[in-house]
Amino acid sequence: MRTALLSCSCVALTLGLAACGGDAGSSGDADPASLVPANAGMYFEATIRPEGEQREDVLAAAGKIMRTPDPAGRIQELVDEGFENDDLSWERDFAPWVGEKAGVWLRDVSGEDPPVAGVIAVRDEKAAEAALPKLQDDGKRGTYEGINYVTDDEGTVAGLVDGYMVIGELPVFKEIVDGRDGDHLADADRYEDVVDELEDDRIGLFYIDTKTLLDAAVKADPSTAAQLDQVRSFLPVDKMGPSAGALTADADGIAIDQIATDIPDGPLRRLATLFAGGESDLLKELPGDAWGAMALPNVGEGTRELVNSFGGLIGGAALTEQVKRSTGLDLEADVYSWLGDVGGFVRGTSEADLGGALVLESTDDDRAASAFGKFVGLIGQQAGAAPKPVKIAGAESAVEIPAPGAPQKLVLARGEGKMVAAYSVSAAEDALAPDAKLGDAATFKAAEEQLGDDMNASFVLSMPAIIQLVDAFGEADADFEEARPYLEAFETIVTGGSTDDGTVRSRTAVTLK
């Protein structure tokens, strides 16, 4: 086994052990980050044995997802099944000594097998010491700086260090032992400043320090320095601060919060804002019966900035010219100059009523009108069918193009402030001027509440509608059927974010039925 202990800490990070057993009590609640070196480039942490109200919240969420009135018992069964081949069980071999939290630390991610160390808080050192030989396959015993350890047949070392079970290859184990009196991650300003912004009642945590990872990569392989310099010339990732995220759960749902700090102004911040879910009002303006919808802000301006920034690496001017030769589109005149926010939606739960649209907001209708004809010709050419004019409510001009093998047609339409590419006439009409808006829908408002007042939604998805659509298309495959009981616990998935100077925050939340 590589090793049962390291597996234990990794399983903990995916909540495999969360809520198992009773409360950890007053011992074993130490912070694993207090033993991890301060220069850690990547760190993950999980609460293995939540206590009090947090434990009740985790069990409530787990019970809904796993469809069981006894989630703690079911989780323990799954853990025992995972260790069955090693003749181990949670109650006998782990519960007597495992504390509240476990962490996994990576100094860097260079090479095919980067060094990894697991750090598990221990609440009973005697019990941990007694369990260690079995957990390590009665491996070879050794001592380093007065610390006893056991090495299994795969070279993984485990031993007790200042109230923690430390697991990893011998060099990493020695590094932690040698650093006991040095600086640690828990006290590092770069770690504290970003982690303190997260929820205190989290059950999972990740921390990534990009600058530290890049420095370690160059140190491990100096030949990569030139390649990294190229990247830094247009995306100064080494200038940004650490990023962190937290997982929380209760009976209402599950949420993942993320924060990225000190992001330099320019294309890097633009990318971070897009991925985090930027602030766009377009999402609320999409049709109210959509079960899936998204929106991104200022796509025209952002795309122009990104292409120009990448120009030094991939040849921005050459790329622009290539697009013009192959499509006839002038990126500046036909895209950047008028394109604002971009959104899209999907609706319908059967093949007959399935529809949706890509919605492009226009900041300059005259330029959009000029570009519209080019888009129509290009898409018609690609589809191999001649576009035919069609009357669409709210559209100044519109065409439809047959979609081979599909019951509906592709519709391209342009109206005041918008251009749409839709699947079905009704979807095009509602994309331009919906009778009911998504922002007024009860399901959207409930999902939006999960984001809080400081974030705007940028993506929303209804899981019941997905399941209904899959069923409408016939028998689902075996993997979907296996996942169905868990998927049926999910109501709505929503993502949103906010940007404040160089700090980008985002949240992905799932409401539970």
- The residue among 80, 74, 5, 9 whose CA lies nearest residue 47 is 9
Give the pLDDT confidence score for residue 44 in this predicted structure: 95
pLDDT higher than 50, residue 2: no
Give the pLDDT confidence score for residue 316 in this predicted structure: 59
For 196-224, what is the mean pLDDT? Answer: 87
| Residue 213: band (very low, low, confident or very high) from pLDDT cuts 50, 70, 90 | confident
For 312-333, what is the mean pLDDT? Answer: 77
Separation of CA 15 from chain center:
16
| Residue 80: band (very low, low, confident or very high) from pLDDT cuts 50, 70, 90 | confident
| Residue 4: band (very low, low, confident or very high) from pLDDT cuts 50, 70, 90 | low
Residue 142 parent element (H or E) = strand 140-144
For 359-378, what is the mean pLDDT? Answer: 94
For 92-105, what is the mean pLDDT? Answer: 92
pLDDT higher than 70, residue 427: yes
Packing angle between helix 299-314 and helix 316-327, nearest 10 degrees? 110
pLDDT higher than 50, residue 414: yes
Q: Are 280 and 289 in contact (CB under 8 A)?
A: no
Q: CA 372, CA 337: separation in Å to the nearest integer?
A: 13
Burial of 214 (0-12, 13-18, 19+ CB in 10 A): buried
pLDDT higher than 60, residue 43: yes
Q: What is the pLDDT of residues 379-410, one digit of tens each?
A: 888 777 889 999 999 999 999 998 777 888 89
Q: What is the pLDDT of residues 6-16, one digit of tens each?
A: 555 554 444 44
- Mention every residue, 6+ apart, whose C-beta is less than 8 A from residue 240: 210, 211, 260, 261, 262, 263, 264, 268, 502
507 DSSP β-pair partners: 257, 496
For 80-98, what is the mean pLDDT? Answer: 87
Q: Quote the strand ranges of 187-232, DSSP E.
A: 204-208
Average pLDDT, the chain: 86
More confident residue, 14 or 320: 320
- The residue among 119, 123, 145, 155 whose CA lies nearest residue 12 is 119
pLDDT higher than 90, residue 487: yes
Predicted TM-score of the model (pTM): 0.87
Q: Quote the strand ranges of 209-354, DSSP E.
A: 243-249, 253-260, 292-296, 339-347
Q: What is the pLDDT of residues 106-142, one digit of tens each?
A: 876 766 667 789 999 999 999 999 999 888 888 899 9
Give the pLDDT confidence score for residue 112 in this predicted structure: 66
Give the pLDDT confidence score for residue 442 in this predicted structure: 86
Separation of CA 4 from chain center:
28
- The residue among 500, 492, 491, 493 whose CA lies nearest residue 455 is 500
Give the pLDDT confidence score for residue 17 in this predicted structure: 47
For 281-300, what is the mean pLDDT? Answer: 93
| Rounded percentage of the chain residues whose pLDDT exceeds 90 | 54
pLDDT higher than 90, residue 96: yes
More confident residue, 212 or 344: 344
pLDDT higher than 60, residue 72: yes
Residue 346 phi/psi, 5° resolution? -130, 140
Q: Are 277 and 294 in contact (CB under 8 A)?
A: no
Packing angle between helix 463-472 and helix 478-487, nearest 10 degrees? 150
Q: CA 336, CA 314: separation in Å to the nearest integer?
A: 19
